[in-house]
Structures are given as C-alpha cells and as structure tokens.
Amino acid sequence: MATDTLVVGPYAYAPLKVRQLQLNPRSLVLQNILLLRQLPDEQLLSFLSTSPEAEGPNFLPDLRACLDFMYEHSDPDEYWKGRGHRYRRGPNGAWIAVPS
C-alpha cells in the first residue's frame, strides 16, 4: 500500500518593521488569527476564499486547521529551527508529523 508523504521547508521570514507605530507585529498577527478563527463559516469564506461558491467540503475545516497551526506556531525560528518537516497521511486522512 502506497503512502502519501509531504515534505515542507525549511521556511523563514523576517519580522515586519513597524517602529513608527510602536506595535509588535507578531501580536497583531496573532490577534487577527484569533478574530478570523471566531468568524462564522460564511464570513470566513468571503474573507479568505477567491471563489467561495466553488470551495469543496474540506476547505473550511482545512482553513481553520491552518489558522490553528499558524497561531500555535507563530514563531518560525521556534518551529522550523532551520530545517524542514516531513509528514505522512494517516489512516483517517490526517497528516501526521514524522519524527526526524
């Protein structure tokens, strides 16, 4: 039986510079993710889909899972640690991290 494998990364980005406003961009991103996670399905679709009427049944659950992941792993250095990550698809279809 063949298994699906997904390899991601390594990934890095530079933090935004918002010195003039004296705001912490990471906290703004986290606040926005929290707001998006609380939206009803119709609003979330209208804000984050380019074609809301054409999205499949997994779009919203996958989108909400992405938002959760982004919130839980908001610091790229902490999560990526300069290396990629490998995942395999489990029996129920969910992606499972493969230890490196």
Phi-psi region of 10 (alpha: psi -120 to 50; beta: other; left: phi over 0): beta
Q: What are the pLDDT digits (tens) for 84-96?
A: 888 888 888 888 8
Q: HSE of 30 in the Cβ direction (CA atoms, 13 Å)?
A: 10
Confidence of residue 1 (pLDDT cuts 50, 70, 90): very low
Amino acid at 39: L
Q: Report residue 45 as tokens.
A: 């679709």
Q: What are the pLDDT digits (tens) for 19-44?
A: 444 445 567 778 888 899 999 999 99
- Looking at per-residue confidence, does 78 or 2 come out higher? 78
DSSP secondary structure string for all residues of 27-76: HHHHHHHHHHHHS-HHHHHHHH-S-GGG--TTHHHHHHHHHHHHHHT--H
Mean pLDDT, all residues of the chain: 78
CA geometry: angle 58, 60, 65, nearest 5 deg: 95
The pTM of the full predicted model, rounded to 2 decimals, is 0.63
